[in-house]
Amino acid sequence: MTRASSWQMFWAGFLIIVGLLLLAGNLGLILFRWDQVWAVLLILIGVSFVWRGFRPRDDKFPGDYAWGFGKYRPNLDGKTIQRESFSHGFGDLDVDLTRAIFPDGESVVHASHGFGDLTIFVPRDLAVRVNARAGFGDAQVFGDKSDGIGPHIEYQSDDYASAPRKLRIEASVGFGDVEVQKVGA
């Protein structure tokens, strides 16, 4: 189910529930007040977020990887990276780009994480530009470290502007550490 259709299902379910409550109130089966609608709405939104958090994305929607709880390490071996998005709720998120394929031009990776550590591994020979930030925790990019509340690091390879293949990384963590490492010879 796509993100758009899941929201359509949410609103359809919400309207059905409100309609049933209004009908039951008009039939005298329950005492219905409009202030109860807000409580039902908040409960449904919460259930929707929990349901989506436990449901992993499948590969039918390339470029959008999401997971809810635990350690998450998507398999990117041989995957062509152009515009990819990774998100995770609780636990650790490791994004290993060392065996991925980068076409000519700029590839973009967005990685966001709620609670835990986010680590991104990039090939040593790839030109990169990184914007890494954490709400509470540490941000570390190729050995440069910033910590405390709201740490933020920006980095750009010297050859980024002229490189035929390059990678722009936007990485953020709410509570935890974000780290970008170069791997390889």
**Mapping DSSP to helix (H, G, I), strand (E, B) and coil, where does residue 72 land?**
strand
Residues 86 and 118 in one domain: yes
Q: What is the pTM of this model?
A: 0.66
Residues 41 and 72 in one domain: no
Residue with tokens 């939104």: 45
Cβ-based burial of 42 (10 A; exposed 0-12, middle 13-18, buried ≥19): exposed
Q: pLDDT digits over 95-104, tens only?
A: 999 999 999 9
Residues 33 and 105 in one domain: no
Residues 136 and 97 in one domain: yes
Predicted local confidence at residue 129, as pLDDT: 96
Residues 106 and 135 in one domain: yes
Last-in-domain residue among 28, 54, 80 = 54
170 and 84 Cβ atoms separated by less than 8 Å? no
Structural domain range at position 105: 64-183
Q: pLDDT digits over 54-79, tens only?
A: 555 444 434 556 566 778 888 999 99
Structural domains of the chain, count: 2
